[in-house]
A and B are shown apart, each in its own frame.
Chain A
């Protein structure tokens, strides 16, 4: 009889089923996508070798480069803003326990649960000409500020971004709330004894205690921001003009509408690389991992 877990190599056998599924449905498509990104291919006829030409186009084409900038703007709305707002909410909730806490928590988390299609349709109405936002502006005597938000060249991108903020706040908040509960009460008491106010307490106790949760929240929301396709597709289709075009939308657009499969794959791989790089940075800086 060998001791349990011996021979050590048997471990690979345990991993095998999961790895097969992972390789089949994730690794293989990823590699195949990388392979296709090296060709000019319309999806029908024989492709021609492009080398890194598609990547050069993805970065060099002003319209595609613009879409990456839009993604960077959305990153603020999807990742930075929700985390900041969630912090405020959580520190309020951790200082005093408001009545009906479970109710608030559920309501704030709800956007995460609702299907993106429903979210998009609802917000399209909210932003529409006769929607509640313009309605309230008119009511407040600010009729001059009303506009078709999603059709306005300046405001369309922030408008879509705010939908993202609304969706992601709940996620960040639930993560932070769980984290706050495991920060020892004594730390807060000690901080108060030392005369720390709410702000000082936040930076000295809450924030350091939530590093891991912050890293997870930032990772998840960053990924959501960069692979944002459904919301754009449903609310603006990248318009007006090119004002809300994002890379993930272009992947779809170039594959199915314009038949540039190679270029689309190159954009997809580029997104993957960016996501990988950003999450690596987040893990290193925020969570303090080597």
Chain B
């Protein structure tokens, strides 16, 4: 019995000498940019995207075909997977020796910043000079796709990706229900809360809300934070540049969420409802309002037609400037460091974000991240969502999704909000838990 233990001990000592993971050389700064890729000879560009749903898939197919038509020497090999499949295999794929050339890498510390830290993505600064990526997007959008080269801070440093679509969280409303209650879409947040109380007193579900998965409450919380906290402070908080989750404005928003739950503005069993069932329930008449982003629009439009509309969270009182809301760019396209054709990949990124490409995005039902050349959405709710994003990005009120703060924040903040909604923790206690995770993460960084 002695021997195996000795072997094990030796193995452990040996193990301590070599650590797992390869030390990828930091990507060389791109010195000369070649934008005339037609002369590059035959190239196969492998692209990983997660645009698998109806309209998104069509959008990628159309644009890829157009790219191939423009540059017949470039063949695009497209690999598309669902969002969670893609994000979970990305680490493995990029640590291999033949990774794809272009990938959609989610923003935040979990994926994009981690990949930047590992030197797996090419900084786009040189290409930005050639193609003018930053000029195409609202500042907030480019900011979220930027990371410092050490991967430690999101929101500044080099640009690492360009997004084709954008998102802004807002409020959907059922026009039939508003009519029945005899109210207009609220012009102010105080009016909105009065409407919630009225809806409750009339036996309606004021806000449909399903929060089994924990993350959905972050959207409601974000809308409330827009009322209580300054957008600059919120951005600093998410980017880890200062502030705490226990700051009074943040706790105030959590308190508001607790009040909403206590007043019955949210369904009693909110924490047990499946998020993806939300459009179905809302379309059936459960809920006067529904908080969410553009991802619900197509489904709701199909189920409710012109009876569903969308608005940004209104300011505290009518006529005041637009308060902040959660949102930003959709998944960004990024170039991998091990790609053999970074110039071709950059030309692809350029092609996918031109105003003409934004037309295609709009025509296939997506919410274009940058201004389209001419296309406009055709349905009422589609127009609402489109205009809301324009207003939000032009007035620069988009605040990044709060879960970007730490790699575990989706879970920690989500858990805290669930407990606050269930009344198991006070807003102070819940935010203290979130802050604990946050400060631990900042200390480790």
Q: Does A43 lie within 8 Å of B16, measured CB to CB?
A: no
Question: What's the minimum C-beta distance from B328 to chain A, rounded to whole angstroms?
Answer: 20
Q: Which one of A4-12, A34-42, A182-190 contacts B?
A: A34-42
How far, in whole Å, are A46 and B26 apart by their CA atoms in the complex? Answer: 13
Q: A124-B274, A240-B422, A259-B407 are in contact. Are A49 and B16 (CB under 8 A)?
A: yes
Q: A45-B118, A49-B19 are in contact. Are A241 and B272 (CB under 8 A)?
A: no
Q: Does B110 lie within 8 Å of A151, measured CB to CB?
A: no
List the B side residues contacting A242 at CB < 8 Å. 415
Whether A44 is near chain B, meaning CB under 8 Å from some CB there, is yes
Q: Does A44 lie within 8 Å of B91, measured CB to CB?
A: yes
Question: What's the minimum C-beta distance from A234 to chain B, rounded to whole angstroms?
Answer: 11
Q: Which one of A79-87, A95-103, A220-228, A250-258 contacts B?
A: A250-258
In the complex, the chain B residue whose C-beta lies closest to that of A155 is B272
Question: What's the minimum C-beta distance from A117 to chain B, rounded to whole angstroms?
Answer: 14
Contact of B114 among A44, A49, A148, A240 (CB under 8 A): A44
Question: What's the minimum C-beta distance from A230 to chain B, rounded to whole angstroms?
Answer: 15
| Per-residue B-contact encoding for A132-148, CB less than 8 Å = 1, 0 else | 00000000000000011
Give the A-B pair count, Cβ closer than 8 A: 123
Whether A94 is near chain B, meaning CB under 8 Å from some CB there, is no
Most chain B Cβ neighbours within 10 Å, of A45, A127, A147, A261: A45
| Per-residue B-contact encoding for A232-263, CB less than 8 Å = 1, 0 else | 00001111111000000000010011110100
Contact of B19 among A43, A46, A151, A253 (CB under 8 A): A46
List the A side residues contacting B91 at CB < 8 Å. 43-44, 256, 259
Q: Which one of B207-215, B313-321, B390-398 contacts A?
A: B207-215
Q: Does A44 lie within 8 Å of B211, measured CB to CB?
A: no
List the A side residues contacting B426 at CB < 8 Å. none
Contact of B273 among A148, A237, A257 (CB under 8 A): A148
Within 8 A of B (CB), among A127-167: 127-129, 147-153
List the B side residues contacting A47 at CB < 8 Å. 19-21
Contact of B110 among A241, A257, A261 (CB under 8 A): A257
Q: Does A35 lie within 8 Å of B15, measured CB to CB?
A: yes
Most chain A Cβ neighbours within 10 Å, of B15, B19, B414, B415: B19
How far, in whole Å, are A148 and B281 apart by their CA atoms in the complex? Answer: 15
Q: How large is the interface on A (under 10, 10 to 19, 20 to 34, 35 or more residues)?
A: 35 or more
Question: What's the minimum C-beta distance from B84 to chain A, rounded to whole angstroms?
Answer: 9
Contact of B20 among A39, A127, A149 (CB under 8 A): A39
Q: Does B269 lie within 8 Å of A129, measured CB to CB?
A: yes
Whether B262 is near chain A, meaning CB under 8 Å from some CB there, is no
| Per-residue A-contact encoding for B265-276, CB less than 8 Å = 1, 0 else | 001111111100
Whether A48 is near chain B, meaning CB under 8 Å from some CB there, is yes
Question: What's the minimum C-beta distance from B329 to chain A, rounded to whole angstroms?
Answer: 21
How far, in whole Å, are A92 and B309 apart by their CA atoms in the complex? Answer: 61
List the A side residues contacting B212 at CB < 8 Å. 150-151, 236-237, 239-240
Q: Does A149 lie within 8 Å of B272, measured CB to CB?
A: yes
List the A side residues contacting B118 at CB < 8 Å. 42, 44-45
Q: A44-B115, A153-B422 are in contact. Are A128 and B21 (CB under 8 A)?
A: no
Q: A38-B15, A43-B91, A46-B22 are in contact. Are A239 and B271 (CB under 8 A)?
A: yes
List the B side residues contacting A149 at CB < 8 Å. 272
Residue pairs across A and B with Cβ atoms less than 8 A apart, 29 shown, are: A35-B11, A35-B20, A41-B19, A43-B21, A43-B91, A44-B94, A44-B120, A45-B24, A45-B117, A46-B21, A46-B22, A46-B23, A47-B20, A128-B274, A129-B269, A147-B269, A148-B269, A148-B270, A148-B273, A151-B212, A151-B418, A238-B411, A239-B214, A240-B214, A240-B272, A240-B422, A241-B416, A257-B411, A258-B408
Chain B residues within CB distance 8 Å of chain A: 11-12, 15-16, 19-24, 88, 91-92, 94-95, 110, 114-115, 117-118, 120, 211-214, 267-274, 407-408, 410-411, 414-416, 418-419, 422, 424
